[in-house]
């Protein structure tokens, strides 16, 4: 009787490959997820900048961020729908929604806030806010992930 060598993998060899692939995936997925979150943050900050530019053009024409004609607050109602969310409507599911606040008592001031939504709802950086002076702040960020607010600002607004 001649014995031919067995071909194939043993169950132990197959399980070792599964363990190695699982370990690599466990290391790679968090990095990939953070990369996606970072790219969504960058897109949102670009939309915030576009919103600021629109508001400054509005101010240069009206000498106020808030103008009422009849019963309509133009700065709020006239804010372009393309700047209502990030990414823009029609380009995908909203990861951030933009909220403009202009106070009638201070028509030379505004606050533009990007609120987390969808896949970014639990993002560590929280909600972004910028005002007419370009002052940037974070609200509702995960303070357990950052040593202090300064570190959170440096990480999230880069």
pLDDT tens digits for range 2-49: 677 777 778 999 999 999 999 988 999 999 999 999 999 999 999 999
CA–CA separation, 126 and 112 (whole Å): 14
Does the predicted model carry a pTM greater than 0.85? no
Asked if residue 5 is part of any domain, the answer here is: no
Compute the average pLDDT of residues 90-102: 90
Which carries the bigger pLDDT value, residue 3 or residue 90?
90
Chain centre distance of CA 144: 19
Min mean pLDDT across 14-18, 59-63, 76-80, 105-109 is at 76-80
Q: Which two tokens stand for residue 97?
A: 């929604």
Q: Is residue 117 over pLDDT 90?
A: yes
Evaluate whether 107 touches 59 at the Cβ level (below 8 Å).
no
Asked if residue 3 is part of any domain, the answer here is: no
Asked if residue 2 is part of any domain, the answer here is: no
Tally of domains in the chain? 1
Evaluate whether 38 touches 150 at the Cβ level (below 8 Å).
no
Domain containing 95 equals 11-156
């Amino acid at each position: 009787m001649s014995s031919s060598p067995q071909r194939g993998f043993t169950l132990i060899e197959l399980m070792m490959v599964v363990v190695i692939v699982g370990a690599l995936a466990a290391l790679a997925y968090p990095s990939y997820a953070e990369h996606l979150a970072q790219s969504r943050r960058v897109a949102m900050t670009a939309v915030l900048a576009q919103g600021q530019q629109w508001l400054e053009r509005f101010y240069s024409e009206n000498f106020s961020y808030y103008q009422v004609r009849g019963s309509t607050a133009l700065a709020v109602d006239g804010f372009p729908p393309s700047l209502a969310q990030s990414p823009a409507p029609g380009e995908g599911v909203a990861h951030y929604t933009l909220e403009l606040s202009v106070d009638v008592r201070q028509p030379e001031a505004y606050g533009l806030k990007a609120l987390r939504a969808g896949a970014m709802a639990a993002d560590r950086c929280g909600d972004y806010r910028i005002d007419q002076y370009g002052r940037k702040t974070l609200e509702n960020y995960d303070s357990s992930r950052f040593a202090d607010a300064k570190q959170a600002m440096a990480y999230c607004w880069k």
